[in-house]
């Protein structure tokens, strides 16, 4: 124990700062809703040590921080869900109940232990309808927040969340949600993109259309396909310039327009000429169909 007196407020501040620094050293995790369920994505080079896991039939778990600490929490959550479903009913196991269970444990550890857990976790449940989807974020001190739509936590969460907010919209397809999540994870503070390969990604979904167990990991060929689609969507289409078509000889540029006075005709005399009037050399004639404007970049 340290010598001297430390006020409770100072001790709590020191613990919170210690936990935040440990969590910030990790990589952010992203969870967002799409039209067919809930997508969860996190950078993870390991194929054996998972950040994203199944908790129960329609409930999943994701975490950032110290692996040994959030693995202990994951197993405790599975035990809690199994006992609750066995003693009562499987429908009594909900993401809100598991989130409250985690919050109580983390709050007790943060208050009573000298060292807090350096973890930040998220619990998601997919409903039978999109209105029934639930996403809960639990921090190291036991605080619980309900996150509608999407959430980014751990690592540089504020930066990733800001990038995801620009791209997220309700009712997205799986491909669109994957593109938005990957772009948010690859965004950096200086405006550049940090490319993440398929072998460095851990991706899972809660598929609303599946019966009983809805959790499914996305691997190998399907993951490569989604990455190719996201890279194709991120490219900016280019609109080629269409050269102006000169009018046919002997045809005025504007139907019914009178000849231009003061020009030299074919006979060499000054007066009215029947020569066609071509397009203005100083103007532009782009064949985009939108007055020459270039279409906006896709999201």
Lateral strand order in the sheet of 134-138:
52-56, 59-65, 119-125, 134-138, 144-146
Lowest mean pLDDT among 13-17, 139-143, 184-188: 184-188
The arithmetic mean of pLDDT across residues 237-243, rounded, is 47
Residue 111 class from Cβ within 10 Å (0-12 exposed, 13-18 middle, 19+ buried)?
A: middle
The confidence band for 264, taking pLDDT boundaries of 50, 70 and 90, is very low
For the chain, what percent of residues have pLDDT higher than 70?
75
Condensed to tens digits (0 to 9), the pLDDT of residues 17-71 reads 999 999 999 999 999 999 999 999 999 989 899 999 999 999 999 999 999 999 9
- Bridge partners of 56, per DSSP, are 59
The arithmetic mean of pLDDT across residues 111-123, rounded, is 95
Quote the CA–CA distance of 95 and 58 in Å, as a whole number. 9
- Which secondary structure element, helix H or strand E, spans residue 178, and what is its range? helix 174-186
- Residue 190 above 60 pLDDT? no
**pTM of the predicted model as reported, rounded to 2 decimal places:** 0.75
Round the average pLDDT of the chain to a whole number and report it.
82
């Amino acid at each position: 124990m340290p010598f001297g007196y430390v006020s409770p407020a100072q001790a709590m501040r020191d613990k919170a700062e210690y936990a935040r620094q440990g969590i910030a050293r990790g990589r952010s995790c992203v969870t967002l809703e799409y039209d067919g369920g809930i997508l969860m994505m996190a950078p993870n080079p390991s194929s054996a040590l998972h950040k994203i896991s199944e908790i129960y039939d329609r409930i999943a778990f994701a975490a950032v921080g110290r692996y040994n600490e959030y693995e202990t929490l994951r197993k405790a959550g599975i035990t809690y869900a199994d006992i609750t479903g066995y003693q009562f009913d499987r429908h009594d196991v909900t993401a809100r109940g598991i989130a409250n269970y985690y919050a109580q444990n983390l709050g007790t550890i943060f208050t009573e232990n000298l060292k807090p857990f350096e973890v930040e976790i998220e619990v998601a449940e997919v409903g039978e309808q999109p209105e029934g989807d639930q996403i809960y974020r639990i921090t190291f001190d036991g605080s619980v927040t309900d996150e509608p739509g999407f959430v980014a936590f751990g690592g540089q969460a504020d930066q990733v969340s800001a990038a995801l907010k620009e791209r997220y919209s309700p009712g997205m397809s799986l491909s669109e949600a994957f593109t938005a999540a990957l772009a948010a994870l690859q965004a950096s503070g200086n405006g550049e993109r940090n490319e993440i390969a398929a072998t460095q990604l851990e991706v899972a979904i809660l598929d609303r259309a599946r019966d009983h167990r809805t959790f499914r990991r996305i691997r190998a060929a399907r993951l490569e396909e989604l990455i190719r689609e996201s890279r194709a969507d991120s490219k900016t289409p280019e609109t080629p310039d269409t050269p102006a078509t000169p009018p046919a000889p002997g045809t005025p540029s504007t139907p019914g327009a009178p000849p231009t006075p003061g020009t030299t005709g074919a006979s060499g005399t000054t007066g009215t000429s029947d020569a066609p009037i071509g397009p203005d050399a100083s103007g532009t004639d782009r064949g985009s169909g939108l007055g020459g404007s270039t279409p906006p970049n896709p999201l």
